[in-house]
Amino acid sequence: MKKLIKNNVYWVGKTDWELRKFHGNEYSTHKGSTYNSYLIKEEKTVLIDTVWAPFKEEFVDNLANEIDLKSIDYIIANHGEVDHSGALTELMKHIPDTPIYCTANAVKSLKGQYHKDWNFNIVKTGDKIDIGNKKELIFVEMSMLHWPDSMATFLTGDNILFSNDAFGQHLATESLFNDKVDECELFAESIKYYANILTPFSAVLRRKLDEITAFNLQIDIIATSHGVIWRDNPMQIVEQYAKWANDYKENQITVIYDTMWNGTKTLAENIAKGIKDADTDTIVKVFNLAKTDENDLVTEVFKSKLIVLGSPTMSNTVLHSVAGFIHILKQMRFKDKKAASFGCYGWSGESVKVLNGLLSDAGFEVITDGLKNLWNPDEDAKKAAQEFGKSLVKQ
Ligand code: FEO
């Protein structure tokens, strides 16, 4: 069912209420998602992106109910990833010769995935196509935001930026627009999306935001490929991205641990108490890694100025949950974040040293040798953990 965006522009995507994991199992989507596809009906009829492959028949059936598929003059593939290109295989059965406009890298990704030699037309930043009624589509390459093949498309006249993944959120909704959904929920999903998907590309994003600004485009609507469309003050999300791309941190310290018999957990809670006692303004959060969604935790790390990471020693090293999480942190390429480590042990006690090495390798500035505790913490050890927390604040 198509929904009106503005004038002759319609949403023809798919709302996926059930989605709980995305990118395989790499990204949790507690609130589902949408795959936004757009139809423009000017003198030329244009389709921008499609939907994820499992919905390809439904997508094409719905589209065929709205328009004669053969009336589509151009297809714009802003990005080759399967959640936006997945319905092309079904669609192109009906209109095999329709030109597909995309970047050179998107030709590689689309051919690599679907092994079809469709009518590809390669575009670069600044290239335009005339769609009639004095309106044009202008292309802007968005390489590494977040794939090498990504681009955005700007519709003149209506001033809509079809930004693809950039500025999106994994948020299933029938409401379509940012002013029609809960603002807190929208912000939470937007920052999680940035933290988990775009953090590694923050430097690229800073340059790209400057480039888009230099175009001096009047942007009235930002039509993303996931979640809601920004029509109420659309530049708010661009301004937010500019903040997030600039080594973002809040006045937050996050204590993250896994534990076997609660010794390291006891340290974690006392470290958090020490931090709060030393500075009541600092937001302190504590998470058991094994019981917390990793993508939500990445978001908490994104917001933190310092993380304090704990693991007991097991087999001369750290628990696999902690090692795996640091692997994710390394992928994120966080900049300008501090770290410290702690852990209980019964025999050899290597975990803190191992954690320091892993955190340093992941790009964190390790600010202390860390806190080790032999066996379960007694009252003195709890006080020592609190003092350790206080010392972190001072550093
Ligand atoms: Fe939403 Fe990179 O695909």
Q: Assess whether 96 and 209 both reside in one domain.
A: yes
Q: State the closest ligand 1 atom to the C-alpha of 82, by its place in the atom list counted from 1.
A: 3
User: Do 27 and 154 belong together in one domain?
Assistant: yes
170 lines ligand 1 (CB under 6 A): no
Tell me the per-residue pLDDT of 356-380, one tens digit each, with 9 for 90 and over: 999 999 999 999 999 999 999 999 9
Could you read off the pLDDT of 269-309 as tens digits, one per residue? 999 999 999 999 999 999 999 999 999 999 999 999 999 99
> Which of the listed residues 226, 244, 262 is the one where a domain comes to its end?
244
Q: Are residues 50 and 195 in the same domain?
A: yes
15: enclosing H helix or E strand:
strand 14-16
Whether the per-residue pLDDT at 354 is higher than 90: the answer is yes
Select from 197, 219, 244 the last residue of a domain: 244
Give residue 113's pLDDT: 98
Interval between CA 157 and ligand 1 midpoint (Å): 27
Query: Can you spell out the DSSP letters for 94-116?
Result: H-TT--EEE-HHHHHHHHHHH--
**Is the minimum distance from the CB of 149 to ligand 1 under 6 angstroms?**
no
Do 236 and 323 fall within a single domain? no
pLDDT at 214: 83
pLDDT in tens, 295-352: 999 999 999 999 999 999 999 999 999 999 999 999 999 999 999 999 999 999 999 9
Say which range, 98-102, 111-115, 137-141, 143-147, has the weakest mean pLDDT.
143-147
Atom 1, ligand 1: residue with shortest CA distance: 165
- Asked if pLDDT for residue 387 goes beyond 90, the answer is yes
Q: Percent of the chain scored above 90 by pLDDT?
A: 96
Give the ligand 1 atom nearest the CA of 197.
2
pLDDT at residue 1 tops 90: no
Query: Is residue 175 domain-shared with residue 47, that is, in the same domain?
Result: yes
Considering the domain architecture, whether residues 129 and 210 belong to the same structural domain is answered as: yes
H/E stretch holding 136 reads strand 135-141
pLDDT recorded at residue 217: 85
Tell me, using a 6 A CB cutoff, whether residue 49 lines ligand 1.
Answer: no
Whether residue 207 is predicted with pLDDT greater than 80 in this model: the reply is yes
CATH code for the domain of 351? 3.40.50.360
Residues catalogued as catalytic: 23, 79, 81, 83, 146, 165, 193, 226
Instruction: Please compute the mean of the pLDDT values over residues 76-94 and round it to a whole number.
Output: 98
Instruction: For the beta carbon of residue 216, count every other beta carbon within 10 angstroms.
Output: 6
Assess whether 166 and 108 both reside in one domain. yes
Between the CA of 62 and the centroid of ligand 1 the distance, in Å, is 22
Q: What is the reported pLDDT for 186?
A: 98
Ligand 1: distance of its center to the CA of 358 in Å?
Answer: 30
pLDDT confidence bin for 215, thresholds 50/70/90: confident
* pLDDT per residue as tens digits for the range 235-262: 999 999 999 999 999 999 999 999 999 9
Please give the pLDDT value at position 211: 86
Query: Residue 213: which pLDDT band, with cuts at 50, 70 and 90?
Result: confident
220 and 110 within one domain: yes
| Mean pLDDT along residues 226-231 | 98
pLDDT at position 254, please? 98
**Ligand 1 atom showing the smallest separation from residue 165 Cα:** 1
Q: Residue 269's pLDDT is what?
A: 98
pLDDT class for 35, splitting at 50, 70, 90? very high
Quote the ligand 1 centre to 35 CA distance (angstroms).
Answer: 9
- Across the chain, what does the average pLDDT equal? 97
CA–centroid distance, residue 83 to ligand 1 (Å): 6
Same domain flag for 272 and 240: no
pTM above 0.85, yes or no: yes
Does the beta carbon of 83 lie inside 6 Å of ligand 1? yes
The reply to whether 19 and 75 lie within a common domain is: yes
Neighbours of 110 (CB within 10 A): 23
Q: Is the peptide bond before 146 cis (omega within 30 degrees of 0)?
A: yes
Atom of ligand 1 nearest to the CA of 147: 2
The verdict on the CB of residue 73 being under 6 Å from ligand 1 is: no
CA neighbor of 54 nearest in space, from 27, 87, 77: 87
Q: Whose CA is nearest to atom 3 of ligand 1?
A: 81
79 C-beta closer than 6 A to ligand 1: yes
Atom of ligand 1 nearest to the CA of 225: 1
Among 218, 244, 270, which residue terminates a domain? 244
Taken in order 179, 184, 187, 190, is the CA torsion positive or negative?
negative
The predicted pLDDT at position 395 comes to: 86
Q: Which atom of ligand 1 is nearest to the CA of 35?
A: 1
How many structural domains does the chain have?
Answer: 2
pLDDT in tens, 49-77: 999 999 999 999 999 999 999 999 999 99
Does residue 211 sit in the same domain as residue 272?
no
Residue nearest to atom 2 of ligand 1 (CA): 81
- Residue 365: predicted pLDDT: 98
Angle between helices 294-303 and 320-332 (to 10 degrees): 50
d(CA 357, CA 374): 20
Check pocket membership of 165 for ligand 1, CB cut-off 6 A: yes
In a shared domain, residues 13 and 145? yes
Query: Do 232 and 177 contact (CB within 8 A), yes or no?
Result: yes
- Residue 238 sits in a domain whose CATH number is 3.60.15.10
Domain that holds residue 228: 3-244
Separation of CA 165 and ligand 1 centre (Å): 5
- Per-residue pLDDT, 379: 98
User: What is the C-alpha separation between 190 and 195, in angstroms, rounded?
Assistant: 9
CA of 197 to the centre of ligand 1 (A): 9
Q: Are 81 and 106 contacting, i.e. CB atoms less than 8 angstroms apart?
A: no
